[in-house]
Amino acid sequence: MTEGRADPGLAATPEMRARGPKDLILFLLAWKAIFFLIVFASLAILPNLFALEIYQASFHWPRGAPPTVWTHLSAWDGQHYLFLSEVGYNPSQSSNGMFPLWPAAIRIAAPLFAGSHLWSGLFLANAFSIAGMILFYRLARERLGSGRAADGALMFAIAAPGALFFSFIYSESLFFFLAVAMMLALVRGRWWWAVAASFLLPLVRGVGIFAVVPLFYETIRWWRSEGRIPWVRSLGLLAPCLGIGIYFLIMNARLGDPLAGFDVQGKMFVSQRSVGYLFGLFPFLRSLVDFGSFHGFLDSSLDRAFFLIFVASLYPLWRLDRRLFFYALPIGLAPALTSLMAYTRYFMMAFPVFLVLGSVVASRKWWLLRALLIGTALGLQVYLTIRHINFYWAG
């Protein structure tokens, strides 16, 4: 298949239904409004569901503070990011396992919200996720060549259970926005915009270093087409490495050890993630079949189901656009190899998968299957959202 054109086997209809920016923004704002309506309705209907013992046993900020209604909006990792945005990195803190760009963004924007880091984080998370979805829809239309398929891809992305984290103080929104921007820039031939986004990605999440893979593939395509690679252009390949290098400098300056964050992830987090696990095939296979609960910490059947969906999408994605394939492959594979814990959330970062999901059921004859899949995904998202805001495990 020639890249730059949609695969006719995936885009089931050639129609190009226009969806203007205004309609798209209104739709996405409605998505957010309905989401938070469900959140506050659940808090009113189920006031005694809050897991106080889990809250007290887990890291929370401010320390020793009793939970309030706003605690529901900053559960789990949100507490770490608020601590980092207000206090910063400190020795012997479990929060040191988080990457710096997201809490820095919260801190920078806080003065716009009367100094409230909570409201700054909530606003940025929702703003970045809306912006990311707008870019994702544009990418879907360009790569699938079908308005109906692009609509389906967007709906699957919004309905996926892991999309709940796009509305809370998690780094997923910023990573999603930057990653989609990078891939859209590559597809449109805007190399330096892609390079700029790839530089920032490793400062949001460690897996962002794999942004170098689609950049390298695009460089090889350029070389095959033009017969040479301008040295200035080849410097762009260093951008993700420069980003992770700056992360190491920050950790060394604040904690005296460039690897302090990785040490925390390996010792203080339940998943005990380690870069070394990337090369352990047998531990991964053992973990893959070690499921015993619907959605527990380490033995979640739901996490493993989404990993299988990711694997099943790889071949159609290869046929669709190999730039997107080489982005999704390491981004979706690395979290699974290090630990399948929270894969339902990490699955969202392998967003090209949603192009496949949207396109294979784009035909009108698949409307019932499409409705069932999206409805099931939304039901799971509501269920996990209610768990999350009450300090039960969601991902």
Arithmetic mean of pLDDT, 335-356: 93
Q: Where are the domains of the chain?
A: 45-279+351-389
300 φ, ψ (degrees, to nearest 5): -70, 125
pLDDT tens for 263-288 read: 887 665 544 455 555 555 666 677 77
Distance (Å, rounded) from C-alpha 358 to C-alpha 370? 8
pLDDT tens for 49-73 read: 999 999 998 888 887 778 888 999 9
What confidence score (pLDDT) does residue 211 get?
A: 97
Task: Report, in this order, helix, strand and coil percent for the chain, each rounded to 5.
Answer: 75, 0, 25
Distance (Å, rounded) from C-alpha 117 to C-alpha 122? 9
Predicted TM-score (pTM) of the model is 0.92
What confidence score (pLDDT) does residue 16 get?
A: 40
Q: What average pLDDT does the chain have?
A: 90
Task: Give the confidence band of 10 by pLDDT, cuts at 50, 70, 90.
Answer: very low
Percent of the chain with pLDDT strictly greater than 70: 90
Q: Are 142 and 185 in contact (CB under 8 A)?
A: no
